[in-house]
Amino acid sequence: MLDKTTNDHVEQVLDAFGKALESGDIDAAVNMFQTDCYWRDLVSFTWNIRTMESQDQVRDMLQSQLAATRPTGWRIAEGEMATEDGGVITAWISFETNVARGYGLIRLKDGLIWTLLTTMTELKGHEEPLGYERPLGAKHGAGKGRLTWAEERAREQAELGYKTQPYTVIIGGGQGGIALGARLRQLGVPTIIVEKNDRAGDSWRNRYKSLCLHDPVWYDHLPYLPFPPNWPVFSPKDKIGDWLEMYTKVMELNYWTRSTVEHAEFDEASREWTVTVNRDGKKVTLKPRQLVFATGMSGKANVPSFPGMDRFKGDQHHSSKHPGPDAYKGKKAVVIGSNNSAHDISAALWEAGVDVTMVQRSSTHIVRSEPLMEIGLGDLYSERAVEAGMTTQKADLIFASLPYRILHEFQIPVYEKIKEVDAEFYAGLEKAGFQLDWGADGSGLFMKYLRRGSGYYIDVGASQLVIDGDIKLKAGQVSEVVEDGVVFEDGSRLEADLIVYATGYGSMNGWIADLVGQETADKVGKVWGLGSDTPKDPGPWEGEQRNMWKPTQQEALWLHGGNLHQSRHYSQFLALQLKARMEGIDTPVYKLQESHHTGR
């Protein structure tokens, strides 16, 4: 519903809120919030990623940050109109702080603020050169000895890391490192991305050949350069690899392939890192001010240590090392695990003529891709959403505006509907012996992902093979590995020529321990999870992804990762934090995350 009265009401609330903040009347500002209120801030007020979940928490944040932030100009964003639905008024808003411009989303109930999202969009005086501000490119006129664009670019590549030092080093050149690198490039932050593979995109190309994205193309764009309109809905891995390689070239990222970080150490006195890199066999020492781990949300491969693994006479490897099914035709395979990789690999093995059994050790959430797209993501990330005027930026911000504390309440009806629509499908899985779950509170896929990053499969076909018995199913715990197969705790046994351990990944914190040291890893603490007190996500409640995209307990050390959506969305806010520090802008951080847990 759109009307001028609703718009006027929001403008009145924003005007009163702005005046209270400008005058320093924190009590008046706090009293404009509902008792059960949520203010999620992405950098603009907190120089952090924080959600304030009550009037008391809003008051505490303002008492800490208001004097330094000095917000002004609260208004409905240009070209937008407030809407009302079910007694909740929603409006896109804009505002400024003393150093930045911001954008956000406000929801009002009974005339009071229920949820407020505030995000930093740009730093004043350090805006990205976009639109009419972009580089001219052509050099009109004449000048002796001047360099072409290509020559200037070649000189930069030759000198950065040798004659000149990067301000930021990013460890890891997958989608996370590339998205952040692109943001930093646009902001003028000298950055080197260090990647062990031969080419950008090889982190995708080198995985098992049936790998594809299980979420749709509208959800997966990278910054500045969306996928073309004819791109496949579910991107095959090699197309993603090619896209990432192309992206690094056209975005002119300083991307060091065949390079491995051997060690990193922070000097408290000089406040800079010493990063030792093996670049294609030659040692290079970098001295950045900021170090970003973009080694993947899930971190290092989790390879189990079952008794007897050293006795197995066939092939065995973690899913991350799986070469594909071609060498195993006519043989017997056991895939240990029942999440995305396990299903993908099992299906590809069956297609190649392999007798394959998938071992389910714990219950798994399954959702077919079609209802996930239509019911779960369709309002924000779909062709119909695009046709209705939804932009990627707005979709990201709408999703970001829902606080994690109550996000499950919005997700439960989605998965109840999916369960109803696909009742026959789920009955077939249960009849086959597959152990289903819907999350600790029935909130489904995305909450499981946020809480622990595992325990689900977005079905693109393998589940029907399970239902039909083409992929055999074994439920139970592995007792030991023997010369020719796997033995289970119930005494049963499976013969195998191949064992694939689709057993997931550990915390990103493990990379910090390996490259910087266990003391620093413990100082930073656990990475990922909300502290929801659900399986694999122990409390206390954090309310945001632990240590992701924000300052950590180790000065100048950052973690960036997640799926393509998160890499795109949160790279904006991490890049702005790094740019502000490079420019010497004061960045008073509100409430660093405590080191409640080790990362091991």
Parallel, antiparallel, or unpaired for β 49-52 and 83-85? unpaired
Q: How far apart are CA 169 and CA 161, in angstroms?
A: 10
| Full-model pTM | 0.94
Contact call for residues 48 and 41 (beta carbons, < 8 A): yes
Parallel, antiparallel, or unpaired for β 315-318 and 498-501? parallel
Domain ranges of the chain: 4-123, 149-300+506-533+547-582, 309-501
**Amino acid at site 361:** R
Fold agreement between 149-300+506-533+547-582 and 309-501: yes
Residues 6+ apart with CB under 8 A from 567: 175, 176, 178, 179, 180, 222, 560, 561
In our burial notation (b when 16+ CB lie closer than 10 A, e otherwise), range 562-583 reads bbbbbbbbbbbbbbbbbbbbbe
Q: How far apart are CA 421 and CA 496, in angstroms?
A: 37
Contact call for residues 110 and 566 (beta carbons, < 8 A): no
Report the residue count for the chain. 600
The verdict on domain 149-300+506-533+547-582 having CATH code 3.30.300.30 is: no
CB atoms within 10 A of CB 329: 10
**Amino acid at site 203:** S
Counting beta carbons within 10 angstroms of the beta carbon of residue 495, is it exposed (0 to 12), middle (13 to 18) or buried (19 or more)? middle
Q: How far apart are CA 344 and CA 479, in angstroms?
A: 25
The CATH code that applies to domain 4-123 is: 3.10.450.50
pLDDT 10s per residue in the chain (600 long)? 456 689 999 999 999 999 999 999 999 999 999 999 999 999 999 999 999 999 999 999 999 999 999 999 999 999 999 999 999 999 999 999 999 999 999 999 999 999 999 999 999 999 999 988 898 887 777 778 788 899 999 999 999 999 999 999 999 999 999 999 999 999 999 999 999 999 999 988 888 777 888 889 999 999 999 999 999 999 999 999 999 999 999 999 999 999 999 999 999 999 999 999 999 999 999 999 999 999 875 567 889 999 999 999 999 999 989 998 999 999 999 999 999 999 999 999 999 999 999 999 999 999 999 999 899 999 999 999 999 999 999 999 999 999 999 999 999 999 999 999 999 999 999 999 999 999 888 999 889 888 876 688 999 899 999 999 999 999 999 999 999 999 999 999 999 999 999 998 888 888 999 999 999 999 999 999 999 988 888 899 999 999 999 999 999 999 999 999 999 999 999 999 999 999 999 999 999 988 764 444
Counting beta carbons within 10 angstroms of the beta carbon of residue 161, is it exposed (0 to 12), middle (13 to 18) or buried (19 or more)? buried
The CATH code that applies to domain 309-501 is: 3.50.50.60
Q: Considering only CA atoms, which of 297, 264, 181 is closest in space to residue 547?
A: 297
CB atoms within 10 A of CB 410: 13
**Summary count for the chain: helices (H), strands (E):** 18, 25
Torsions phi, psi for 137 (to 5 deg)? 85, -65
